[in-house]
Amino acid sequence: MKLAFSTLGVPGLPLADVLGLATAHGYHGVELRAHPEEPVHPGLTPAQRADVASDFKTAGVEILGLAGYVRVAAPGEDDAVIGEIRALLDLARDIGAPFVRVFPGGGDEQTAEEADATAARRLGTAAEYAADLGVRILLETHDSHRTGADAMRVLGLVGHRQVGALWDVMHTWLGGEQPVESFAALSPHLGYVQVKDIASAEDRTPLVLGAGVLPLADVVEVLSRHSWDGWLCWEYEKRWYADAAALPELLSPGREHVVRLLNESA
């Protein structure tokens, strides 16, 4: 398995510094938060996009994916949501990112069945465009569709290989799902896995990997047992927790913890 970290942990940091952290601490890739307050977002010009791709190639670091904020089950017009997804897909194609992350985002305004249908309809439409670009859309286990079983209700309706799953281990745990259950549900569609650690369900301040309550050892064990050889991405949510420790000083201990887990599961 290869290890990446998300720029959510170093909000607003220039790309040169992000790449420096990745190479200095032994990370193979970076997940880029695609937001206007970050260096990489859909508003970049063609020249700027080419520069991003070139900078990563020169550094020998892979772009794991774009973490977008489209909510595919949210109420509203389909065209606006699909347009946002397409803008992310264009950016991913231009900078060489294989994945685009979207959220479910279903709310109280609709039933679970209506949210599933809305998300599946939009993802199915966007899937054809994604296929033409060679980029895969990943629905994260999050908010209204927190567990693997929840996400599978949507993915089963879509039935397109260009639409898959992003397993956020905190949300499946908060949803009461065991790692073996999450993997069983998501494995046919799994793009990559977001790992993190927190003190408790009530206190989600990010911690260095291994210092909290999330079942990371069980996650790595089930992935290893099934010979899954994809990406683990550390999503350290510093952007939302100003008092959390700075990510750069934790990058090496975090990587070392994952390596230990991988060795124990080998």
Note the pLDDT tens digit of each residue in 119-132: 999 999 999 999 99
The per-residue pLDDT for 53 is 98
Contact yes or no for 123/91 (Cβ under 8 A): no
What pLDDT sits at residue 193?
A: 98
pLDDT for position 266: 82
Percent of the chain with pLDDT over 70: 100
CA atoms within 13 A on the CB side of 121: 14
- What pLDDT is stored for residue 236 in this prediction? 98
Q: Residue 47 — very low, low, confident or very high, per pLDDT cuts 50/70/90?
A: very high
Q: Smallest Cα–Cα separation from 15: which of 1, 3, 44? A: 44
Q: Give the start-to-end residue ranges of the domains of the chain.
A: 2-265
CA gap 246, 260 in Å, rounded? 22
Residue 198: DSSP 8-state: B
The mean pLDDT of 64-73, rounded to a whole number, is 98
pLDDT confidence bin for 30, thresholds 50/70/90: very high
Q: pLDDT value at position 108?
A: 84
CATH architecture of 2-265: Alpha-Beta Barrel (3.20)
Give the pLDDT confidence of 164-211 residue by residue, as tens digits. Answer: 999 999 999 999 999 999 999 999 999 999 999 999 999 999 999 999
